[in-house]
Amino acid sequence: MVDDFATLHRIIIHQQEQYTMYTRQSLILLATFSAVLFFLHPQPPALPTKAHAHTLPYHTVKSPHKKAKAPKDWWRDKVFYQIFPRSFRDSDGDGIGDIKGILQKLDYLKTSKQGKGLGITGLWLTPIFASPSYHGYDVTNYRKLNPLYGNRKIFKALLDNAHKRGIRVVLDLMVNHTSKKHPWFVKSAKSRTSPYREWYVWRDTNPGWTQPWGKWPVWHRAGAQFYYGIFWSGMPDLNLAHPPTKNEMFSIASYWLQQGIDGYRLDAARHLFANGPGEGQNDQPQTHTFWQAFHKNMKKTAPKSLMLGEVWAPTKALKTYCRKDEFDLLFHFPLAKAIQMAVSAMEAKPIWKVIKASIPTHCWATFLSNHDQVRWATRLMGQTKMLRMGAWLLMTLPGTPFIYYGEELGMTNGPQKGDPGKRTPMPWDASAKGGFTTGTPWTQLAPHKQANVATQQKDPSSLQQLYRKLIHWRHRLIALRRGTLKRITLAKDVKGRDAVVAFSRVYKKGTHQQTVWMLLNLNDEATGTFKLTLPTTRRVKRLLKEGNTVYNVRSEPQKNRNTLTLRLGAQSGVLLQLF
């Protein structure tokens, strides 16, 4: 039952099944249906070896030459990669991914050689603390690593080698709740006079509240009383109004920052306090007060640490957390939903609607899918061209992009029901075990004949190679990382204009200006030919092209302008720089 409830814990999105042949009309229906589902809710240190352990095939990275000091908001210049450690790479043949496995594969993410590797500059690791579950979101000891994943020495080696590559490392931290098996809760539940009683929320009667996103109860019986756990009975909520509890969570946050990590992804950030049923369990004033104090504590310990929030909420609620004294970044769930709708329905409108009402772009943490959701490629039924459109949007829109492991391969859900199907082992090659382990994988791999690293690295036109190119340009162009966004509007008579996402990204600092244009046709039909005007002082350079896109520039000095003529092929696009 644990996995069933854990599925509910991470907010239910049912796995889509039995895809068949479809028409363009059915894709539009899919967009609407999926959107509803979506929103529910030097030499490194010597490493210890285990029996049958592999030799570590990673390269030691020498300290880089002196570079400019990283800005305070360094995360705006990064591309993050989310790793579910259990499923990324098994180093010792026990069938379970581990920290050493991540270390072995750092060269895949980013090497010391220019232009090699995927180009990843940030890692988000889902929970690695002691836990009785496969997912780790129910912690039993916040200061202890899960022994299945490794020990402190291995973790230190991972941090050191990641940092030498310019990769920052962020950990998942569950402040909202613990495991029912955590010693704190075990002591709390023993008696009403326990010194840990007030570390959790107790009451004599059950008020009958249910989850704000569903009908499952949030008050759970233990003896003669009831305790509060918004996700399920196995994860009781902490009482963060109790000073010893709050102070201990602050101390834990400081502890791992002092070990050298670069920040936290904070789970279930909107649910810390509950003042009543329904919406009384979301976004309460005390929640904001707590996060402001938490922010102050983090920045005191590590002034440049990242505070990243999971606030799974509509834009109006999301905005309230985008403050200088709260979160640095927030996962932009409304935008992720809009990108899916736009790509599936082949129209740009959903994206512009969300952007118009959006939070300030400096808060955006953008993504296509994560460990709680049906995988991006599954939702799009493995349609390669649509997957490519999503990659273009993710890497060119404002915000700090996050890639869920395997997403760059077009990795789909596995055959398992619920959350395990979203978190299957990473396929490094096309073999039965996908190069993930020499033993028996902890769970079955998703289909990976084509969706594997070895195959796609050999194919210059693969989805993985597209991601590498887009990431390269994002690192090269400050306009794509920090530039303002302005929509480029096509004339009303242009065929297919509603399916075109077109915008400029402009970065200005002093006398320096960098301008980039991105034009992307989401439609499965080509656009008509259209024209855009430029000052005569501007010239155009093509940086990257997708599909059958044709353009030319004609100088018209008598009109003091240049004319850019374009025709975007079906599901095609172009990235241009203006000089």
Tokens of 474: 């994002």
Type and span of the H or E element at 502: strand 500-509
The separation between CA 379 and the C-alpha centre of its own chain, rounded to angstroms, equals 16
Question: How many whole angstroms separate alpha carbon 312 and alpha carbon 76?
Answer: 21
Tokens of 464: 């993985």
Under DSSP, is residue 200 helix (H, G, I), strand (E, B) or coil? strand
Tokens of 321: 């957390």
Under DSSP, is residue 300 helix (H, G, I), strand (E, B) or coil? helix
Tokens of 14: 């049912």
Q: Which of 336, 306, 252 is nearest to 121 (CA)?
A: 306
Strands (E) in 196-283, as ranges, are 202-203, 219-222, 225-228, 263-266
Question: C-alpha distances in angstroms, 69 versus 72, 111, 115, 123, 217?
Answer: 9, 21, 22, 20, 50
Question: C-alpha distances in angstroms, 83 versus 12, 124, 146, 450, 491?
Answer: 21, 6, 15, 21, 43
**Single-letter code of the amino acid located at 21:** M
Question: How many whole angstroms separate alpha carbon 499 and alpha carbon 45?
Answer: 53
Contact (Cβ atoms closer than 8 angstroms) between residue 130 and residue 152? no
Under DSSP, is residue 449 helix (H, G, I), strand (E, B) or coil? coil
Strands (E) in 225-384, as ranges, are 225-228, 263-266, 306-309, 329-331, 364-367
Q: What is the DSSP letter of 214?
A: S
Active site residue 267: yes
Active site residue 17: no
The catalytic position among 92, 138, 310, 326 is 310
The catalytic position among 90, 172, 262, 267 is 267
Question: How many whole angstroms separate alpha carbon 367 and alpha carbon 90?
Answer: 26
Question: How many whole angstroms separate alpha carbon 108 and alpha carbon 474?
Answer: 18
Under DSSP, is residue 532 helix (H, G, I), strand (E, B) or coil? strand
Question: How many whole angstroms separate alpha carbon 341 and alpha carbon 343?
Answer: 6
Q: Which residue has the tokens 């450690």?
A: 85
Question: C-alpha distances in angstroms, 46 versus 56, 154, 206?
Answer: 11, 9, 54
Q: What residues act catalytically? A: 267, 310
